[in-house]
Structure 1
Amino acid sequence: MRSVLPLPIPRSLVELHRFDLSAPYTPASNFITWDVVSSPSGDTYALSRLRRYVQNAGSESDPPTSSFGYVILTRYSPEGTVAAIAVSASEHPRGALPTAANGLLQTLCILPGGTLTTNANPDRTALISPHLTDVLATYTEPARRPFEEVVPGDPFACSIDVTPSGRLLCVTAEYGTNRYGASQANIVGLADGSLTPDNKPTIRAIASLDPEPAHQSTDDLRPHVQFEGAPVGLANRPRPALTELLTSPSGHRYLDWGEAGLGRPAVLADDLFVVPVFERLTRRATRGRSFEFLLLDDHGAVRGKLAGLDQWRHSPYPGQHFTVVADPHRGHIFHLNNFGLFAWTRDGVLRCALDTTTKTFKPLTNFALKSFSPAGELVFVHNKQHLVLRMPTPEDLHDLPGAVENALRTYTRDRTALKKQWGPVNWHWPAPDVRVYHL
């Protein structure tokens, strides 16, 4: 089984749009990978985006001169070979996708039974067949804008994860959080039913971030997201909110969490989750701003937090690395940012911290942590070389340094082999003859 996987770009898209793979990236022209997940059967899926924005672009009927945006789904076999690619085109790089979820950030989830979901804000979810051949269903929500008539939708969640027993840990958005005229992630909830094309289960809200979103009306009530038997919205949501619980021992709020953000929760057990909370993002490289990784049970009670991180020396803000992943079977928790790879036990005790300012572990700063696989692997993406690294984790966290060193050596060796096989251009990997499905 390969430990390093290429993130491919279909040759047909490169040729259709005459996309210059050798050109340097700009904010308007780039290839990024949002998420990578693995199934219990060993298949791995990657969710990426290829886009180009051309000012004064030509007509859409002239692809070589036009703007474009594609979401690219890649499936790898358990052995690590590219088994299938699916693409979904948007009308504009910032437009809504017609068949797959769209948004600023997108996530993947594999449901019990193998169905793949893509999820994005505001609560847009697409169900896709395991072989990437079909979109089975979409649950969408039109973007809500101030002073415009509300267009009703059929939303579900902006992120989903599955607990060991098959419950769905969901994050849903609300309009007016932080007094913004937009929808943002605000509710953590659990769904015990199956999500299928014919069934959208009720999500039981267990925690909120902003306790009093502004400018809501009855149009903002979500019947499928409930708290105490009624739809979440207006004044009905779990209280106290997470921001109201972030206090000093004296009882006074030591930070201004009034414009906080909610990260994607990680499943630690059926009844225990890690929930990232961070201050409002201002500048991409802002260090010293406050953050917490809270341990939350399935009734919304805070059971502790991940200890041992300094808000300056271990800041996740440079590069916006707020991802936390967990191993439910061993009770381990992991986080990677520009300053270290950190590992905790189930009760939030820091057991291992690998300093990425040292020569040995500095290569980790080129990676982003994406998920934890059922096979016991940390799954990373190299941000510039567009490769996935699957790293087996040891039973004892004290053995993590050696496992990381070995994984980095494996990465260098396997990357060299892939370069000979694929012939990448500027670390772009034009896909060989693989079936491409258009969703």
Structure 2
Amino acid sequence: MAALLPLTLPASLVGEHRVDLTAKPSEGWAFTTYDVAANAAGETYALCGAGRYRPQAVASTDPFELNFTYHLLTRFAADGTPTATALLGGPTPGNVPTGLTEGSDMNLAVLPDGTVAISSAPGNTHLFSADLSRLVESWRAPWGWGEERTGDPFALSIDVTPAGRLLCATAEYGVSNYAGQVANLVALSEPGSTLGPGTKATLRAIATHDARTDRQTDADRRAHLVHDGTPVGGTNRPSPSLTELVSTDDRARHDYTDCELGRPAAMGDDLFVVPVFGRMYRSANRGQVFAFLLLDGDGAVRGRLEGMHRYEDSPYPGFCFTVVGDPYRGRAFHLNRHGLYAWDAEGRMRARIPTSDAPFTALTHFSLMGCSPAGELLLVHRKQHLLLRVPVPADLGDLESAVRAALKSYGPGRNALKRQYAPVNWHWSAHSARVHRF
């Protein structure tokens, strides 16, 4: 049965800054969910952002006027009750984050020992204890001009396989003509590798996105990222590149020039889906090329996720670039403005649910964040800030019925939560969660 829980704001934060929850984004208030992850015990973690910016309030000391930027990592019990929140950031002149999650494209993962990892571009990784009371370890990679080669990065995204292997995307400096660090490597740890205080797991590169690395020097190599036993750099890297693998003809070579690497997702201990998206244009991008490659643990191509039409199923409207895997059952899922899609381990599409048909039109308001160890799709409503957990049946051919039932239960579940939390403009504030400030 589908479950619904609210993505909450700590009541203490709302009171401290006298937040006007009726404010609109155009008035400088924003609340966003970046990622959601679940553990085997049924607990859920949500990584959200809350910020207020008023140009005239930069020099103000009034809590009601003060600008602030927070990232909130919240833990929810199996019944949906918020139990703890790690509050990162604070009031900052000019709305510059001072928290630990500098960077963009933030990603959340629960490691085998229960530690929670936040990763963001270009390689920031922060580890928190399962109860969110302690910052266990922090590796940073600064963005600043002239600082690209400094810092101590780990990964910009992490996914975990059933055997505890870490599937990571990492950034490199000196790729093509890019000035800074860009996502360029897919890397994998070995079973039993640890990630913790003072211990950075060794990652073995299994795929290179763009092999144009003539500008790299020894200063750009990272000790924890290896290929053939030595740090990745220059020509010491997996070959051929992903860009070369998807550029099968002259037109594709043009469209995939300067393409982008998506977030890799595990479909098993030795099977991974790696999205590659064609170059982005300033005008409409619907119809641009994309590919969801299947790789094994050695980087060999096992095929692709098949069945999507380049235009009719395009992920570019709304920039719906997330592909999630269910590594315990060998499945993959993708949601965009046109439909919800599901594949088996061979890359065969087993379900396509078009959003043009009722009641599935409601899916256009959701973002697909992940798949729980129990086999539930984690869908977040972007405006109502609610997480819908949809159990996926063993037969993917029955997915449509499961999604239909989940959407049918969404309204009654939302009404029950409204009576419990009394939200303001779809913002859910909670008094029960313990708040840890960092």
**d(CA) in 2 for partners of 1:92, 1:312:** 44
Aligned residue pair count: 435
Q: Larger deviation: 120-129 or 54-63?
A: 54-63
State the Cα deviation string for residues 70-127 of structure 1 (Å, max 9, x = none).
Answer: 00011111122111112101546764544x3322211111111100010001111001
**d(CA) in 2 for partners of 1:385, 1:165:** 36
Which residue type is aligned with residue 55 of structure 1? P
Structure-2 change in CA distance of 1:254 and 1:172 (3 Å): closer
State the Cα distance separating 1:363 from its structure 2 match: 0.4
**d(CA) in 1 for partners of 2:394, 2:320:** 25
State the Cα distance separating 1:242 from its structure 2 match: 0.1
**d(CA) in 2 for partners of 1:233, 1:266:** 24
RMSD: 2.0
Which residue type is aligned with residue 189 of structure 2? A
Structure-2 change in CA distance of 1:213 and 1:69 (3 Å): farther
CA contact (8 A) 2:86 2:133 kept: yes
Structure-2 change in CA distance of 1:93 and 1:123 (3 Å): farther
Partner of 1:20: 20
TM-score in terms of structure 2 length: 0.94
State the Cα distance separating 1:280 from its structure 2 match: 2.6
State the Cα distance separating 1:237 from its structure 2 match: 2.1
CA contact (8 A) 1:210 1:258 kept: no
Alignment of 1:111-130 (within 5 A): 111-130=111-130
Alignment of 1:25-424 (within 5 A): 25-26=25-26, 28-59=28-59, 61-89=61-89, 91=92, 95=96, 97-98=98-99, 100-145=100-145, 148=146, 152-192=150-190, 193-213=193-213, 215-248=215-248, 253-283=252-282, 286-424=285-423
CA contact (8 A) 2:101 2:120 kept: yes
State the Cα distance separating 1:419 from its structure 2 match: 0.5
Identity among equivalent pairs (%): 46
**d(CA) in 1 for partners of 2:284, 2:310:** 13
CA contact (8 A) 1:212 1:235 kept: no
Structure-2 change in CA distance of 1:27 and 1:111 (3 Å): farther
1:389 partner SS: strand
Q: Larger deviation: 303-312 or 19-28?
A: 19-28
State the Cα distance separating 1:144 from its structure 2 match: 4.7
**d(CA) in 1 for partners of 2:152, 2:217:** 17
Specify every segment of 5 or more residues in structure 2 that has no aligned partner in the other structure, as ranges: none
1:184 partner SS: strand
State the Cα distance separating 1:302 from its structure 2 match: 1.2
State the Cα distance separating 1:214 from its structure 2 match: 6.1
State the Cα deviation string for residues 99-158 of structure 1 (Å, max 9, x = none).
Answer: x3322211111111100010001111001010111111101112252xx36663221111
State the Cα distance separating 1:2 from its structure 2 match: 7.4
**d(CA) in 2 for partners of 1:163, 1:388:** 23
Structure-2 change in CA distance of 1:38 and 1:48 (3 Å): same
CA contact (8 A) 1:69 1:93 kept: no
**d(CA) in 1 for partners of 2:180, 2:16:** 35
**d(CA) in 1 for partners of 2:64, 2:74:** 24
Q: Larger deviation: 53-62 or 69-78?
A: 53-62
**d(CA) in 1 for partners of 2:185, 2:93:** 30
**d(CA) in 2 for partners of 1:77, 1:58:** 38
CA contact (8 A) 2:12 2:431 kept: no
State the Cα distance separating 1:371 from its structure 2 match: 0.5
CA contact (8 A) 2:5 2:387 kept: yes
Structure-2 change in CA distance of 1:48 and 1:286 (3 Å): same
**d(CA) in 1 for partners of 2:427, 2:434:** 19
Which residue type is aligned with residue 361 of structure 2? K
**d(CA) in 2 for partners of 1:94, 1:153:** 23
Partner of 2:6: 6
2:223 partner SS: strand
Which residue type is aligned with residue 435 of structure 1? R
CA contact (8 A) 1:284 1:318 kept: no
